[in-house]
């Protein structure tokens, strides 16, 4: 590929990415401008407090929108943590056969209704929003209007570009270091808060809501590494982020920490210190913790599987309308359903295996 063709390719990708991100720029700039109109009568249109509150308002709106996804993320993380003992058993059994281990692990995920990718979804959705806010504020710092609502009123770009909070420019960054003033001090304070909140959030999750088995083996080592790697990443990227974006990131981390505390307190993972304390609280209130957990599991399963999924619904409808016979052989349910053509279709479904303790009781 020639140099000219490569340049044209990169330009085409840039235009495509810009077109994809344009609706996000529109939304981010629209929410900020709306909030600015709300707070401007209180603190003045050019006040840094007005713009900081506008960014905080944007943060709250985004987190409210992402709350259902965040709940799924925590549920998925808790389910993954609860499965660690079973995963360790599979690793011990199929450790030398990586292909079989992968197949059995995915089978376990399907049986338990766990989606490992669900824990990453909120983060993946926040990254484009973070980038959109970064581009809008960085553009304001350069005097460029990015986003429909800033392009509509370019005076807002000048206002945001020159707005100061405690003497620091909201559009300013810690680096490049052309002196050490209010901008560098506020950026440093925000970076320290951001790193500290993230570290405490992960430490709280590990100590309060993770079973001891989760710290064993390779997965446990990865958990411990992530405790330090994620905050360290903020240390390296924070100095190049505008203060306005740091304000957004600090507020969203504080929101996440509070949300996590509420969920861990009320919906802890079994076998963890938080779960023991929750059980004691429920018993002190005269409630049955096991009954509450069974109700939650049934509710979660009904939502995830839709009462057996589309296949289960279709089977029940066919059986109800045309009749069926069920024969049990060697632990397998064999259902014979008569289809429209008059032929008998045999459907097999594995029954739920009993645990060793249940078999011993018999």
- Most confident range, picked from 127-131, 145-149, 319-323, 334-338: 145-149
What is Dmax (Cα atoms) for the chain? Answer: 86
Average pLDDT of span 313-341: 42
Is 291 domain-assigned?
no
Kindly state whether residue 282 falls inside one of the protein's structural domains.
Answer: no
Q: Is the pLDDT of residue 303 over 90?
A: no
Residue 49 lies in a domain: yes
Say whether both 338 and 193 belong to one domain: no
Instruction: Please tell me whether residues 143 and 37 are part of one structural domain.
Output: yes
208 and 120 belong to one structural domain: yes
How far is Cα 46 from Cα 50, in angstroms, rounded to an integer?
A: 7
At 335 the three-state DSSP class reads strand
Give the three-state DSSP class for 354. Answer: coil
Kind of pairing, strands 168-169 and 344-350? unpaired
160-210 pLDDT per residue, tens:
889 999 999 998 899 888 788 999 999 999 999 999 999 999 888 888 888
Question: 340 by DSSP, 3-state: which?
Answer: coil
Q: Are residues 233 and 326 in the same domain?
A: no
Closest CA to 145 of 25, 45, 249: 25
Residue 6: the pLDDT is 63
The mean pLDDT of 258-266, rounded to a whole number, is 88
Three-state SS at 131:
helix
pLDDT in tens, 111-145: 776 777 666 766 677 778 778 878 887 787 777 88
Q: What percent of the chain has pLDDT over 90?
A: 24
Whether residue 103 is found in the same domain as residue 218: yes
Domain tally, the chain:
2
Give a yes or no: residue 281 inside a domain: no
Comparing 56 with 71, the larger pLDDT belongs to 56
What pLDDT is attached to residue 76?
A: 67
Indicate whether 319 pLDDT > 60: no
Within a domain: 308: no
pLDDT averaged over every residue in the chain: 77
pLDDT digits (tens, 9 = 90+) for 217-255: 776 777 778 788 888 888 999 999 899 989 988 998 999
CA distance 269 to 81: 8
Q: Are 335 and 248 in the same domain?
A: no
* Residue 348: strand pairing partners: 334
CA separation, residue 295 to residues 280, 289, 292 (Å):
18, 10, 5
Q: What is the mean pLDDT of residues 53-81?
A: 79
Alpha carbons 269 and 211: distance in angstroms, whole number = 8
| Among candidate residues 267, 282, 300, the one where a domain is terminated | 267
Q: Which domain holds residue 79?
A: 3-267
Give the mean pLDDT of 350-360. Answer: 49
Helix, strand counts (H, E) of the chain: 14, 5
**Residue after which a domain boundary falls, among 267, 295, 330:** 267
DSSP strand E in the chain: where? 164-165, 168-169, 324-329, 332-338, 344-350
Task: Note whether 215 and 330 are same-domain residues.
Answer: no
Other CB atoms within a 10 A radius of the CB of residue 338 amount to 16
Cα→Cα distances 315→271, 320, 330, Å = 37, 8, 22
Sequence-ordered list of residues with C-beta below 8 angstroms from that of 42, at least 6 positions apart, any chain: 50
> Could you tell me if residue 305 is inside a domain?
no
- Alpha-carbon distance of 53 to 62, in angstroms, equals 14
Query: Do both 95 and 10 map to the same domain?
Result: yes
- Same-domain pairing of 322 and 220: no
**Domain end (from 229, 245, 267):** 267
| DSSP conformation class of 171 | T
96-100, 190-194, 247-251, 286-290 — which is least confidently predicted? Answer: 96-100
Q: Is residue 361 part of a domain?
A: no
Distances (CA, A) of 168 to 15, 55, 181: 34, 16, 8
Rg for the chain (alpha carbons), in Å?
27
pLDDT value of position 186: 95
CA angle 125, 257, 249 (to 5 degrees): 50
For residue 44, pLDDT beyond 90: yes
Q: Are residues 344 and 215 in the same domain?
A: no
Q: Quick one: 138 and 69 in the same domain?
A: yes
**Looking at the structure, do residues 118 and 195 belong to the same domain, yes or no?**
yes
Q: What is the pLDDT of residues 8-24, one digit of tens each?
A: 666 676 676 777 788 88
Residue 176 token pair = 């490049």
In a domain, 300, yes or no: no
């Amino acid at each position: 590929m020639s140099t000219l063709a490569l340049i044209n390719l990169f330009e085409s990708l840039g235009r495509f990415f810009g077109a994809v991100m344009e609706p996000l720029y529109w939304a981010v700039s629209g929410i900020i401008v709306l909030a600015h109109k709300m707070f401007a009568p209180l603190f003045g249109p050019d006040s840094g407090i007005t713009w900081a509150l506008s960014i905080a308002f944007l943060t709250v709106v985004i987190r409210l929108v992402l709350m259902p996804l965040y709940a799924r993320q925590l549920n998925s993380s808790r389910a993954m943590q609860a499965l660690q003992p079973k995963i360790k058993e599979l690793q011990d059994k199929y450790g030398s056969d990586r292909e079989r281990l992968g197949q059995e692990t995915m089978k376990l995920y399907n049986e338990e209704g766990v989606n490992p990718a669900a824990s990453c979804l909120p983060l993946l959705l926040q990254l484009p929003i973070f980038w959109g806010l970064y581009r809008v504020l960085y553009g304001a710092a350069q005097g460029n209007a990015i986003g429909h609502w800033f392009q509509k009123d370019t005076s807002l770009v000048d206002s945001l570009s020159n707005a100061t909070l405690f003497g620091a420019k909201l559009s300013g960054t810690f680096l490049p270091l052309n002196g050490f003033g209010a901008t560098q001090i506020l950026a440093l304070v925000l970076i320290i808060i951001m790193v500290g909140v993230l570290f405490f959030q992960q430490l709280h999750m590990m100590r309060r809501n993770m079973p001891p088995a989760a710290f064993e083996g390779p997965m446990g080592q990865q958990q411990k590494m992530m405790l330090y790697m994620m905050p360290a990443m903020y240390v390296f990227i924070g100095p190049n982020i505008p203060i306005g974006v740091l304000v957004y990131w600090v507020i969203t981390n504080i929101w996440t920490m509070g949300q996590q505390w509420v969920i861990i307190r009320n919906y802890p993972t079994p076998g963890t210190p938080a779960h023991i304390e929750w059980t004691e609280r429920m018993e002190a209130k005269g409630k049955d913790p096991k009954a509450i957990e069974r109700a939650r599991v049934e509710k979660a399963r009904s939502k995830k599987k839709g009462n057996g999924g589309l296949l289960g619904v279709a089977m029940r409808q066919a059986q109800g309308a045309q009749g069926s016979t069920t024969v049990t052989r060697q632990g397998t349910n064999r259902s014979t359903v008569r289809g429209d053509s008059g032929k008998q279709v045999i459907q097999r479904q594995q029954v739920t295996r009993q645990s060793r303790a249940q078999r011993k009781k018999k």
